[in-house]
Amino acid sequence: MSASGEVWAVLLAAGSGTRLAQAVGGVKKQFLEWKGFPLFWHSALTFSKTPAVKGIVFVFPPDQLEEMRSVVAGLDGADSLGMPFRVTAGGRRRQDSVFNGLNELPTGCTHVLVHDSARPFASAAMVTGIIDMLQSGMEAVIPAVEVTDTIKEVEGSVVSRTLVRSRLKAVQTPQGFSLPVLYAAHRQAEQEGWDVTDDASMVEMAGRDVHICAGEEGNVKITNPEDLKRIENTGRTIPCVGWGYDVHRYGEGRPMVLGGVPIPGGPQVIAHSDGDVLLHALSDAILGLFGGGDIGHHFPDTSAACENMSSGIILKEVMIKAEEAGVEIVHVDLTVIAQIPKLSPHRELIRKNIASVMGLEKEQVNVKATTEEKLGFTGEKKGIKAVAAVTGLKTFS
C-alpha cells in the first residue's frame, strides 16, 4: 500500500436494525429519513466537510446493493459530496462488512476511519481530531466519553463484581486506524476465528496500542425505539441579530410619530407611510434576523396600498414573518438621532408602547436618543434618523 497519506472512510450501513424494525415499519435504521436524507447520508456529508478525508466506501446489505448504488448516485447528484466514493456489499457480521469495505479502498489510502451510519451526529471537528492523532504517528485512535453509571459484572441475575468506573470509557465511532495495521488485524481475526464488536477490539487482540481521544456526548447511536426521539426532535436554537436603519426629512407632510407615539410640537416629516422612522428601523432589523430582506421590498413606497399606512401594521406584519421563520425576539435596542425634538419626555411611553405591540416585557426594550452635535443633516435640523438592533433566537429543524 502506498504511503501517500490519504485518509478514506468506511461507512457501515449494512446492518439489519432488528431492534428498531417494529417501531419503524421494517425500515432499516440507516435508511430512516431525517432532514430530508437517510441517516447514512448525514455521516457522509460530515466526512465531505472534513478536508483530510479523501473518499468514502459505503457498505450496504447485499440484497440492496444495486438499489443503493442508484440511491447514492442520486443523493450525490442532489447534494454532492465533492469526493470519490465506492459502494460494496456487507457480510454476515459487522467485522465482515468492515473487511469488505477495506478491500475497496484505493492503493493510495494509508489510513481509514470506520464509522457506524447509525451515528449521524458525529462532528467534523471530532473527525479532524482523530485524523490529526493518526497523522502524528498513532496506529489506532478511538473517541470515547466518560461512563457516568456504575457498571456491574453479572452472572445470571447475580452481581459478581463492580467495575472501577474511573477506568471505564464508552467508545464511539468513527474509529481511526493505520490501514496496514487494521488490515493485518482483520486477517488475523479471520485465521484465528475472532468474533468482535468493534475494530479497536480486534487491533487490541493483535497486540497493538489503541489510543483514546475525546468523544462527544451528542454522538449517540440510534439503536432502540426510544432513540428515535433524537431524530424526531433535533432542532438547534441559535442566537441571531438584526440591524435596521431609517431616515426621514423634515418638511410639510405628516405629523411626527415615533414608536407609535405621537410627538406633539415635533417637526412634520415627509413620508409615504406615516413616517415613523423608529418603527421602520425596527421592522428592518426584525427582517434581518432571518434574512427577510427589507421593508422597501415588502412595503414599497410606490405602492398605493402603503400610502399613509400605519407603521404599527408594518411592524406586526414583519413579526408574523419572523415567527413563521422560527425566530423568537428576545431584546430590542433602539436609538433615535435628531437635534429636534427633545425625546426625553416621550421615551418611556415609546418604550412601553413598543413592548406592548411586540408582546415583550418593558425590560426587553431599550430606547435611547442622541444628537450629532449639530453636525450633518440631523444637526442642521433637516431630518431625523433611527437605528435598531434586535436579538432573537432562531430554531433550525
Give the residue from 83, 192, 216, 196 showing the smallest Cα distance to 143: 216
Q: What is the CATH number of the domain that holds 171?
A: 3.90.550.10
Identify the domain boundary among 167, 202, 231: 231
Q: What contacts 205, CB < 8 A, 6 or more positions away? A: 185, 188, 189, 194, 196
pLDDT of residue 6: 93
Residue 230: is it exposed, middle or buried by C-beta count within 10 angstroms (0-12/13-18/19+)? middle
* pLDDT tens digits, 159-194: 999 999 999 999 999 999 999 999 999 999 999 999
- Same domain as 226, residue 246: no
pLDDT tens over the chain, length 397 residues = 334 479 999 999 987 654 444 444 445 667 777 777 888 999 999 999 898 999 999 999 999 999 999 999 999 987 789 999 999 999 999 999 999 999 999 999 999 999 999 899 899 999 999 999 999 999 999 999 999 999 999 999 999 999 999 999 999 999 999 999 999 999 999 999 999 999 999 999 999 999 999 999 989 888 765 666 666 655 567 899 999 999 999 999 889 999 999 999 899 998 877 889 999 999 999 999 999 988 888 887 777 776 777 888 889 999 999 988 889 999 999 999 999 999 989 999 999 999 988 888 989 999 999 999 899 998 999 999 999 999 999 876 5
pLDDT of residue 23: 45
The residues with which 161 forms a beta bridge, in sequence order, are: 153
300 assigned to some structural domain: yes
Identify the domain boundary among 231, 266, 299: 231
305 assigned to some structural domain: yes
Provide the domain limits for residue 361: 236-396
- Same domain as 273, residue 200: no
- Same domain as 39, residue 11: yes
* pLDDT tens digits, 121-132: 899 999 999 999
- Same domain as 51, residue 10: yes
Domain count, the chain: 2
- Same domain as 12, residue 119: yes
- Same domain as 260, residue 217: no
The residue behind cell 423608529 is 278
CA 258 vs. chain centroid, Å, equals: 38
0.75 surpassed by pTM: no
- Same domain as 240, residue 96: no
**One-letter-per-residue 3-state SS of 42-95:** HHHHHHHCCCCEEEEEEEECHHHHHHHHHHHHHHHHHCCCCCCEEEEECCCCHH
Alpha helices in the chain (DSSP H): 18-21, 39-48, 65-78, 94-102, 124-135, 179-192, 199-205, 229-232, 277-289, 295-298, 311-324, 347-358, 376-379
1 assigned to some structural domain: no
Identify the domain boundary among 206, 231, 256: 231
- Same domain as 218, residue 280: no
Q: What is the CATH number of the domain that holds 328?
A: 3.30.1330.50
- Same domain as 248, residue 205: no
